[in-house]
Amino acid sequence: MQAHWEHFSHEADMGVRGVGDSLAQAFEQAALAMTAIIADPARVQPAKPVSIRCECPDRELLLADWLNALVYEMACHNMLFSRFEVTIDNDSLSATAWGEAVDRVRHRPTVEVKGATYTALRVNQRDDGSWLAQCVVDV
């Protein structure tokens, strides 16, 4: 199973979907999908690491927490991220996100993400053993 991400349609906004061999990998791919709403991840240098921790008893809410933690880091540090390493241990997630400061000319950012929503929020293991992590984000 090749880990990958994709967008899915929502009438007003966008859905992000990550698929991977593990829960953590699906979370990493969902984060990439979110970056891709704002800019092409290939244009973002994974230069500077930022550490992120979240905790939540519900796996789906943990996905929203993870994406919202990234929204917060992007907003406060004016950054975009293109590489993610996630570890999930029961209720807690610890991660490193690598990225760089927004460069309007090089990144051509399209839109800000306001937050990850609980709409179409799903985290589950599929029949083929792969993991899926998705939700709609408000832009």
End-to-end CA distance of the chain: 30
By beta-carbon proximity to another protein, the closer residue of 21 and 55 is 55
Contact assessment for residue 18 and residue 88, using Cβ atoms and an 8 Å cutoff: no
Shortest distance, position 70 Cβ to another protein, whole Å? 12
Rounded to whole angstroms, how far apart are CA atoms 121 and 101? 29
Shortest distance, position 46 Cβ to another protein, whole Å? 18
* Count of C-beta atoms within a 10 Å radius of residue 84: 24
Shortest distance, position 128 Cβ to another protein, whole Å? 25
Rounded to whole angstroms, how far apart are CA atoms 31 and 85? 10
By beta-carbon proximity to another protein, the closer residue of 67 and 86 is 67
By beta-carbon proximity to another protein, the closer residue of 25 and 88 is 88
Would strands 14-20 and 79-89 be described as parallel, antiparallel, or unpaired?
A: unpaired
Alpha helices in 4-103 (DSSP H): 23-38, 59-77
Shortest distance, position 11 Cβ to another protein, whole Å? 4
By beta-carbon proximity to another protein, the closer residue of 21 and 58 is 58
Residues at the contact surface with another protein, assessed by CB under 8 A: 7-14, 38, 56, 61, 64-65, 68, 71-72, 75-76, 78, 102, 104, 108-112, 114-119, 121, 136, 138-139
